[in-house]
Amino acid sequence: MKIKNKIKIKVNGKKVTFNKNDTVQNLIKELKIPLNKVAIELNKKILNKKKINKIKVNNNDNVEIVHFIGGGWWKKKISLKLEKKKLNSRLIVGTGKYKNMLECAKAIKISGADMVTVAVRRVNIFDKNKPLLMDYIDPKKTIYLPNTAGCFNSTDALRTLRLAREIGGWKLVKLEVLGDRKSLLPDMIETLKSTEVLTKEGFEVMVYCNDDPLMAKRLENAGATAIMPLAAPIGSGLGIQNKLNIQIIRKQTKLPLIIDAGIGTASDASIAMEIGCDGVLINTAIAKAKQPYQMAEAMKYAVIAGRKSFLSGRIKKNIFGNASSPKKGLI
């Protein structure tokens, strides 16, 4: 009799048994998942969490439950503004690749970053003790920037960011659509298409892109909130490979310009700021450093130094020497 009152469904790719004629809300309760930290999809349709008490689960249904993983408003002096988000720090830090959540949270605190990138992934429904990012980094104190890490087409990227918005109303997002699994370079055709759709849906889109000035202009015309050209391939640590193109983008755009991907050390971050970028996004260079906390602090001051250098106005370059001591009074 009990078997007849049960149905088989898939939750995050795993087969589970659930009560017949029961609701999504009770499924979440049974799995002991905190509703305020997740988004729910039923048969590829994103659910309004306010209505899940009325939505029934049927036999062979496919349920996806996702959350943010390692991926505010401030009253102090403002240095960088992204739409309605006002930031003190021009350094944005990624939350992936750290040894654990504690290391991630401490490195971010040391870096002084106000904003962190977060990825959207399935909740582990069988390990209730697995930590959630929100338990370590409070989204009320640190701005979450949901991204589309791991997406290789527009369809997946759009789905991911719509789920991110459902988790907690996030509209400011980072879009990245990759074109190649080895180089992780962006697919700019899919990226541009996604930008156009997302901006029409009310998203504020910070766009990871290549260092092509023409494509950067197209993204701006499509409604992008910020342009985020790569310095080099993601995680490569090579630093800025095409400084000229970055400078051209800086000259032609009024949008925030943030270097994303390829930063390897503090001098790379400083150079990005010196050529006029508004900010730098760094993950691997901090997370995989031998001393992540020291590198986080180094990146903090590199960004500050680079920005001050840019605002100060460098001297003109000259192939000949120019003595600093006066000739008058020589012995």
Sign of the CA dihedral with 25 first, then 28, 34, and 35 last: negative
Distance CA 78, CA 153 (A): 36
Catalytic residue among 174, 290, 316, 327: 174
What phi, psi does 165 have (nearest 5°)?
A: -65, -35
Distance between CA atoms of 137 and 109, rounded to whole angstroms? 9
Q: What is the DSSP letter of 316?
A: P
Catalytic (active site) residue 174 = yes
For 204, phi then psi, to 5°, come to: -105, 110
Q: What is the 3-state secondary structure (H, E, C) of 127-176?
A: CCCCCCHHHCCCCCCCEEEEECCCCCCHHHHHHHHHHHHHHHCCCEEEEC
Structure tokens at 183: 């180089």
- CA triplet 35, 145, 289: central angle to 5 degrees? 110
How far is residue 49's CA from residue 38's CA, in Å, rounded to a whole number? Answer: 9
Q: Please report where in the chains the tokens 């939750």 appear, as a residue.
A: 11
Handedness of CA 248, 251, 255, 256 (dihedral sign): positive
Let me know: does 142 contact 331? Beta carbons within 8 Å: no
Query: Taken in order 194, 197, 199, 203, is the CA torsion positive or negative?
Result: negative
Q: How far apart are CA 133 and CA 141, in angstroms?
A: 13
Residues tagged active-site:
174
